[in-house]
Chain A
Amino acid sequence: MARRPYPQEVDRFKWWIADPHFNRPFYLDYMARESTCIFIALYAILFVWGLGALASGPEAYAGFIGAMQSTGGVILQLVILAFAVYHTVTWFILAPQGMKPMRMKDGKRVPAGRVVQALFAMWAGATVVTLLLVWVLIP
């Protein structure tokens, strides 16, 4: 009997919408997690723009600060912050799945939950240090 396998193709653009809903909507979660990185990139661009303005002189920098403090600028930064937090939280939760097991002295694995907790603790610590620096350095 001749073999005549029937190919099963998926749509290159719509595959993540036809989500098979495993134990949670996997493909949608994935797309949300990955696409929020665009907002991280956007913030990096803003940051580079600010540095450029700073290098160009006081007038340009004042213009940059003005744009950031305008209603539109504030809304943009809040939106970026929201997506950046989503991106960070989802990656922190995934972290134990993407690393070699950390072991305690007796050879037992550090539980995955502990790794995630440590990441959140470091994030909180870094935030506090940053805010303190801002408070100390900016009159």
Chain B
Amino acid sequence: MTVQNRQIEVLRYDPERNDAPYFDTFTVPCKEEWVVLDALTYIKDELDPSLTFRWSCHMAVCGSCGMQVDNKPTLSCKAFVRDYGEKIRVEPLANFPIERDLVICQDDFMEKLERGRPWIIPEQKREVDDGPYVQTPVQLDDIKAHTMCINCLLCYAACPVYALERDFMGPAALTLMYRYNADSRDGGWDERREVFAGHGGVWECSFVGACSDVCPKHVEPATAIQKGKMDSAVDYFTRFLMPGGGK
């Protein structure tokens, strides 16, 4: 087993002591199979117990350990140190306020996620005796990729629109909204319209596409949002041009 020393450059910020973040560099003897998260754990265990970062599953499922690794939004549990250079720069996810060290403040996303009503709003509620809401494999295939989101927020860190337009709902929240709007069992379009298609909704997106590139679960947020624009346009014209509002 080969061990190689690497310089891990970590952005530090302690809200009680620092007015601004600064870089701290640690020399870490990294094993070949280590990911960046392992290197951070080594720092916390052996070098500086005050280093703060979020993590849980260590297997790209929980979505907790998103960080900028060498300036790219990445799950640190999925970033093998051997794929990087001698020096690796680790920073908190871009575009979010820093809570402490590598921990970002998620309040804005949480509020937006909830505002999107990301759950099935059935058109006609079924009672238990009526049996389950059924869906064909093709209907599931239409939305399946968009259901895999783990809320890791890498897409927000990659999105220049979110960086500049704070009202923008952002890739993950809009993708979840699309995922439910497009679900064959859902009838919640009218309830979500204002948030989905109004100010801060899908039309703020200018299709940079970086969200889909950084997404570790291949959720394709960029595609979901463009499809959402199409639905929103169809909805707009059917409501205003068709007799009875297209109903």
The listed residue (B138, B210, B230) touching A100 by CB distance below 8 A is B230
List chain B residues, Cβ under 8 A from A114.
none
Q: Quick check: is A26 within 8 A (CB to CB) of the other chain?
A: yes
List chain A residues, Cβ under 8 A from B98.
5-6, 8
Chain A facing B: main interface SS: loop
Contact B160 A98 (CB under 8 A): no
Interface size class of A (residues with CB under 8 A): 20 to 34
List chain B residues, Cβ under 8 A from A15.
160, 163-164
The listed residue (A1, A6, A23, A103) touching B21 by CB distance below 8 A is A6
Nearest to A95 among chain B residues (CB) is B226
Contact B213 A97 (CB under 8 A): no
List chain B residues, Cβ under 8 A from A23.
213
Q: Nearest chain B CB to A7's CB is how many angstroms away? A: 5
If A97-B220, A97-B223 touch, whether A26 touches B209 (CB-CB below 8 Å) is: yes
Q: Residues 2-16 of chain B: 1 if any A CB is under 8 Å from the residue's CB, otherwise 0?
A: 000000000001011
Q: Quick check: is B56 within 8 A (CB to CB) of the other chain?
A: no
Contact B158 A22 (CB under 8 A): yes
List chain A residues, Cβ under 8 A from B72.
20-22
CA distance A6 to B96 in the complex (A): 9
Nearest to A34 among chain B residues (CB) is B206
Q: Residues 76-117 of chain A: 1 if any B CB is under 8 Å from the residue's CB, otherwise 0?
A: 000000000000000000100111110100010100000000
Contact B208 A30 (CB under 8 A): yes
Nearest to A30 among chain B residues (CB) is B208
Q: Quick check: is A55 within 8 A (CB to CB) of the other chain?
A: no
Q: Nearest chain A CB to B238's CB is how many angstroms away? A: 16
Contact B227 A100 (CB under 8 A): yes
If A10-B163, A20-B71 touch, whether A103 touches B138 (CB-CB below 8 Å) is: yes
Q: Quick check: is A134 within 8 A (CB to CB) of the other chain?
A: no
Q: Nearest chain A CB to B43's CB is how many angstroms away? A: 20
The listed residue (A3, A7, A10) touching B164 by CB distance below 8 A is A10
List chain A residues, Cβ under 8 A from B210.
22, 26-27, 30
Q: Residues 24-54 of chain A: 1 if any B CB is under 8 Å from the residue's CB, otherwise 0?
A: 0011001000100000000000000000000
Q: Quick check: is B36 within 8 A (CB to CB) of the other chain?
A: no
The listed residue (B97, B105, B160) touching A10 by CB distance below 8 A is B160
Interface residues, chain B, CB within 8 Å of chain A? 13, 15-16, 20-21, 68, 71-73, 92, 94-99, 105, 137-138, 141-142, 158, 160, 163-164, 206-210, 212-214, 220, 222-223, 226-227, 230
Q: A30-B209, A99-B227 are known; give 8 further A-B pairs, CB within 8 A.
A: A3-B105, A4-B15, A6-B15, A8-B95, A15-B163, A27-B208, A34-B206, A97-B222
Q: Which 10 A-B pairs have the closest CB atoms?
A: A5-B97, A98-B226, A4-B15, A6-B98, A5-B105, A26-B210, A10-B163, A107-B138, A20-B71, A30-B208
